Chains A and B, each alone.
Chain A
Amino acid sequence: QQQVKQSPQSLIVQKGGISIINCAYENTAFDYFPWYQQFPGKGPALLIAIRPDVSEKKEGRFTISFNKSAKQFSLHIMDSQPGDSATYFCAASGTGSFGNEKLTFGTGTRLTIIP
């Protein structure tokens, strides 16, 4: 029930195209859904995040769409650029009893943008 499922595992998109990565969760206690971007040899870095009280959040070329009833959320990268080539992780955390709320990560999507 703590899992976050992510697809696809890898994605190749042409420059200028739209990249779409999907995630699904089961635990209804999750109340925060960040996306992290990771370049080779680096740690994950927060890209954009959403709370379940909104259905969409947009920051520049990056948009999260959130479907609470389906327990699904997705990352859309508009006008994808070669510099967007990285591994993307969806994650979730929830208000529990421990105070420090751990992140539960998806399995990652390796995105490659080709010219």
Chain B
Amino acid sequence: EPEVTQTPSHQVTQMGQEVILRCVPISNHLYFYWYRQILGQKVEFLVSFYNNEISEKSEIFDDQFSVERPDGSNFTLKIRSTKLEDSAMYFCASSVEGTSTDTQYFGPGTRLTVL
């Protein structure tokens, strides 16, 4: 069964450093998302992406964040200058149609630890 993959599984970085989290969505999916989950809290939407453009972003997704689809398979989330409060599990998700009733498939996540 096709699945969303994410690398690395765990990333440790120093505050102020740049990190890039990578995702490979399911191959025939056209809509991509990033969510994050701070330890013990709910999953929160960060950004949605379609046709090489951001469709929607939350207030969490400030100027320090960016997303890119550098090639036909990868979808990346970049945090330019990490803060302690960026420590969280980051999930990539993808869907076929992007409608409200379309299933979003989540990857296993990248645990980001900012020291």
Binding site for B on A (CB under 8 A): 30-32, 34, 36, 41-46, 49, 51, 89, 93-96, 98-108
Residue of A nearest to B108 (CB): A43
Fill in one digit per residue for B71-107: 1 if any A CB lies within 8 Å of its CB, else 0.
0000000000000000000010101001111111111
Tally of contact residues, B, Cβ under 8 A: 30
Contacts of A98 in B (CB 8 A): 48, 55-56
Give the shortest distance, in Å, between B5 (CB) and chain A (any CB).
Answer: 10
Contacts of A102 in B (CB 8 A): 33, 45, 48, 56, 58
A43-B91, A43-B106, A44-B106 known; A101+B99 contact, CB < 8 A: yes
Judged by a CB distance under 8 angstroms, whether B18 is at the interface is: no
Instruction: Tell me whether B98 and A108 are in contact (CB under 8 A).
Output: no
**Cα-based distance from A37 to B49 in the complex (angstroms):** 24
Contacts of A104 in B (CB 8 A): 45
Instruction: Tell me whether B56 and A34 are in contact (CB under 8 A).
Output: no
Secondary structure at the A interface, as helix, strand, loop or mixed, is loop
Contacts of B33 in A (CB 8 A): 100, 102
**Cα-based distance from A99 to B102 in the complex (angstroms):** 11
Instruction: Tell me whether B42 and A103 are in contact (CB under 8 A).
Output: no
Cross-chain contact of B45 among A31, A36, A103 (Cβ < 8 A): A103
| Known pairs A44-B106, A100-B55 / 14 extra A-B pairs, C-beta < 8 Å | A30-B100, A32-B100, A36-B106, A41-B108, A42-B108, A43-B91, A44-B91, A49-B103, A98-B56, A100-B31, A100-B95, A101-B102, A105-B44, A108-B42
Give the shortest distance, in Å, between B40 (CB) and chain A (any CB).
Answer: 9
**Cα-based distance from A30 to B101 in the complex (angstroms):** 10
Judged by a CB distance under 8 angstroms, whether B25 is at the interface is: no
Give the shortest distance, in Å, between B7 (CB) and chain A (any CB).
Answer: 14
Give the shortest distance, in Å, between A44 (CB) and chain B (any CB).
Answer: 5
